[in-house]
Chain A
Amino acid sequence: MKAVFTRPRSLTDGATHYCPGCIHGVAHRMVAQILDEMDLADRTIGVSPVGCAVFAYDYFQCDFQQAAHGRAPAVATGIKRAVPDSFVFTYQGDGDLASIGTAEIVHAASRGEKISVVFINNAIYGMTGGQMAPTTLEGQKTTTSPAGRDLADTGNPIRMTEMLATLPGAAYLARGSCHDIKHLRATQKYLKRAFEVQERGEGFSMVEILANCPTNWGMSPVESLQWMEENLVPYYPLGEFRSPEEVE
């Protein structure tokens, strides 16, 4: 009998700790499938963030380092410089990457550091219990913006991918979404291109993935996907923002 669907070899066996309906498990699977397809796992070192994905090291069949909050791109830089023939990816959330870790992500991209970043943007702090993130939308209620995010008080949500697209070192930048199958497929294509850019030594690559947080958004998983489509996607446009053909 032909197997039509299997667990990627690059994922460990067993259940994740993620909440019901959370997209992290799907994003992990997408990354693992690309690691399988490109046969990368045995020379991959992943870097997990501080946030819901802190335990990513339990779920991938590859070496891992756990980084301090926001510092994953610096840790990944140290690894890649020490083992240049390795494949190094970070997996970071929006609190980690777009708030406390802005210096590290900007300069890793600016240096053209040959690492790949998987940036999960669900517009909220998940692990700490639903606080406002730099990516939280206007009017979005969180535990630290209980009346809804007030832009006059807290500024505007940051579009990290567009910001990094101003840097010549960023060889590949794309934003995908997980709210339906069509966009999952596009996101997986972006991930593969990002990983190929690192493998060809062309520079820094990042895929931002719009994701959900049913628990902290106070929604059912299905409602959260609808909310993504109606609110996150319009503010955070999807597509490729930089690819090697555009890079000098």
Chain B
Amino acid sequence: MSERQLQMVKGNEAVAEAAVRAGCRHFFGYPITPQNELPEYMSGRMPEVGGTFLQAESEVAAINMVYGAAGAGVRVMTSSSSPGISLKQEGISYIAGAELPCVIVNMVRGGPGLGSIQPAQSDYFQSTKGGGHGDYRMVVLGPATLQEMVDLTYEAFDIADRYRNPVMILGDGVIGQMMEPVRFPDLMDPDTLPTKEWATKGRRDREELNLINSLYLDPDACWAHNQHLARKYAEMQENEVRYEVVHGDAEYFLVAYGTTARIARRSMTDLRERGYDVGLVRPISLWPFPEKAFRDLADRARGYLAVEMSLGQMVEDVRLSVDSSVPVAFYGTAGGVMPHHADITQQMEDLIRGTGDDR
């Protein structure tokens, strides 16, 4: 069987296999719905490729195992869902502070608190604005299809290594649980990856000692470290922006990412069939947010409708990316309820009629 053959797989398993293909041989996790198939898959797959699967005693321990393994120079991943990702925030802050590459998967579920186990996008703020303490950023990627999730996960390890920074795959309960045909990239041999000279593997023949650390007690030194991080984050903003624009010549645009973008696309098609000039902006990198997509549309766009499975989080970034004279409406459902395409269509019609009359 060719490795590049189309395979019907479940989202959680697709991310896991994509990570293995990318040379990830260490996985530390903890059970939480709706991402359990991911660690379950890893528990069987890692031994096949000579890797390590370890079910930690908590999400807190799992992310700190990731810290240790990433600091020792291997490609490493953890996964969880919203409440568990909250528990990982301390570790993510340390990982960002100590500049360690790793990939974190969040299959978002309804919140706050224990919330629900159904899909949501209400962790957008936590993911993109820094859920842990301190000034840090991580690349956050929001796939809309399983193939895109496979490709982004594979690439996420390269991004993480390139910047020595955590990268998050932000999915949700739907994309984790659904099945779609995907083509996996070839299996990478981790021994062929460039050596991480900074990693702590024991000094061996190295001249200098290596240290993984985020403590800079002298405020000037800590400021210098923050400035260094800021330059790195600026590079990410320059190089890691990803988005899709559908019908870029339209006047009105739906804005949605991930699973919601699939529903919004259906609304766009319905609206166009009824004669409305509607397109879709689909952010793929949620941080860095694709402000450029909106700048490029500035001359023509007469209104946006941001749609999310939240009470309105990404919409704030949309508003920051467009001229204040252009209306940005919001429609969202939260707690595990998904928006219906007919409701999105209605909201867009209302927006177009409202603004249309004014002009």
Contact = CB atoms under 8 A, between A and B. Distances in A.
Contact of B201 (A76, A83, A103, A107): A83
Interface stretch (A61-69, A144-152, A214-222): A61-69
A42 interface: yes
**Majority SS at the chain A contact face:** helix
A57 B57 CA distance: 27
A68 B91 contact: yes
A9 to B, nearest CB: 12
A43 B56 CA distance: 25
Contacts of A11: none
Nearest to A40: B202
B200 A65 contact: yes
Contacts of B72: 45, 78-79, 82-83, 86
B68 A63 contact: no
Given A63-B210, A71-B61, A77 B202 contact: no
Contacts of A75: 64-65, 67-68, 71
Interface stretch (B111-119, B212-220, B286-294): B212-220
A36 to B, nearest CB: 14
Interface string B44-80: 0000000010101110111011111111111010000
A107 B209 contact: no
B71 A78 contact: yes
Contacts of A81: 26, 52, 54, 65, 68-69
A87 interface: yes
A74 interface: yes
A116 B182 CA distance: 44
B90 A68 contact: yes
Contact of A66 (B60, B61, B66, B214): B214
A61 B74 CA distance: 23
Interface in B280-338: none
Contacts, number: 133
Interface residues of B, number: 38
B154 interface: no
A76 B56 CA distance: 13
Contacts of A63: 200-203, 209-211
A43 B60 contact: no
Interface string A69-103: 00100111111111100110000000000000001
B66 A57 contact: no
A57 B211 contact: yes
A62 B206 CA distance: 11
Interface in B326-354: none
Contacts of B231: none
B94 interface: yes
Interface string A198-213: 0000000000000000
A43 B202 contact: yes
Interface of B: 26, 28, 52, 54, 56-58, 60-62, 64-74, 76, 90-91, 94, 98, 200-204, 209-215
20 contacts: A42-B203, A43-B203, A47-B68, A61-B203, A66-B214, A66-B215, A68-B67, A68-B90, A74-B64, A74-B67, A77-B61, A78-B70, A79-B69, A81-B52, A81-B69, A82-B69, A82-B72, A82-B73, A83-B72, A83-B202
Q: Which 6 A-B pairs have the closest CB atoms?
A: A78-B68, A43-B202, A74-B64, A78-B69, A63-B200, A82-B72
Given A43-B204, A64-B209, 15 more contacts: A41-B203, A42-B202, A45-B72, A45-B201, A47-B68, A65-B98, A65-B212, A68-B90, A74-B62, A77-B65, A78-B28, A81-B52, A82-B26, A82-B72, A83-B72
